[in-house]
Amino acid sequence: MRLFTRLHYPYGLSVRKLVLLIATVAVSAPAPVFADAVSVPAPQRTVSSFSFFSAATASTPKAYWNPCQVIRYGIDTTQATAAGMTGSREVKRWKSAVNEASRAMGVTFQYVGRVHARVAKNKPARLPGVDIVITYGNASRSGAAGYGAALAGTTAGVAGVNWTEAGQRDQITSGYVVIDARDAAAHTSTWQQPFDSRPATQRDPDPLRALYMHEFGHALGLEHVEDSSQIMYPRVSSTRPDIYGSGDRAGLQALGTQACF
């Protein structure tokens, strides 16, 4: 499912907001998968093995973060720990996922620490000093505790970006990820516990890290692709490496090498 809304703020700034959802299907051994809900539309642009939310040309993003800024991210693990996950382990997993994006993109990310994410209309509100808010919700709860509507049913996570129009380009100014804590906790205990922080080439794939890399890719401006060898393919399997594929890396590199805003 993909939602698209356009918001007009009181001061006249036009902000487009994209929300991408990924969802779980029934999980069964030995190859459980995360997958999009059946209602997901075909990607609007699939260029070989990478695609952007908003593209200027086939291989050039129109909407992207300022590659000359440090992108700051914070994590709220409240609902993760409530679901039985270990907060420090999740932070480690996120840092590992973000590091992969940083290497591919050539952009610096800064972990600002644990944050307290506020909920606004089933999405995390912007936080001062935080560019990308990463948090967890509980599909069975609504309001401040749960993001219930956004994570209802088989949805494992949501991610989105805001951007502002800047001439022929759009500058992404904030992003967020919400992980369904109960889904994640279930997969963590089933698949891999605890998180193994060794390099991906030295350990078994961690599907949860792959899910985080997928959602973080959305928060950086990447759209789904139909190439099943890429992280941005909307299915994450326990039998597939939890590393960005060649197309993922090409897309991230393009996002990280545009002119500065």
List of residues contacting Zn ion (CB under 5 A): 20, 22, 234
- Of 22 and 117, which has the nearer Cβ to Zn ion? 22
Q: How far is the CB of 32 from Zn ion (least distance, A)?
A: 17
Pairing assessment for the beta strands 55-57 and 132-137 based on DSSP bridges? unpaired
Residues 261 and 247: their CA atoms lie apart, in Å, by: 25
- Of 78 and 245, which has the nearer Cβ to Zn ion? 245
- Of 20 and 132, which has the nearer Cβ to Zn ion? 20
> Helix H segments across the chain?
78-82, 87-105, 181-191, 207-220, 246-256
- Of 94 and 169, which has the nearer Cβ to Zn ion? 94
Q: How far is the CB of 19 from Zn ion (least distance, A)?
A: 10
Q: How far is the CB of 20 from Zn ion (least distance, A)?
A: 5
The answer to whether 180 touches 122, Cβ cutoff 8 Å, is: no
**Which residues is 142 bridged to in the sheet?**
none
What sign for the dihedral angle of Cα 249, 24, 7, 140? negative
Instruction: Provide DSSP, 130-141.
Output: BSEEEEEE-TT-
Q: How far is the CB of 36 from Zn ion (least distance, A)?
A: 6
Q: How far is the CB of 234 from Zn ion (least distance, A)?
A: 5
- Of 163 and 216, which has the nearer Cβ to Zn ion? 216
Element (H, E) at 171: strand 169-180
Q: How far is the CB of 23 from Zn ion (least distance, A)?
A: 9
Residues 121 and 143: their CA atoms lie apart, in Å, by: 8
- Of 133 and 177, which has the nearer Cβ to Zn ion? 177
Please compute, for residue 21, the number of CA atoms within 13 A of its CA located in the half-sphere on the CB side: 25
- Write down how long the chain is: 261
Q: Around Cβ 126, how many Cβ atoms within 10 Å?
A: 16
Q: How far is the CB of 202 from Zn ion (least distance, A)?
A: 27
- Of 78 and 230, which has the nearer Cβ to Zn ion? 230
The answer to whether 43 touches 33, Cβ cutoff 8 Å, is: no
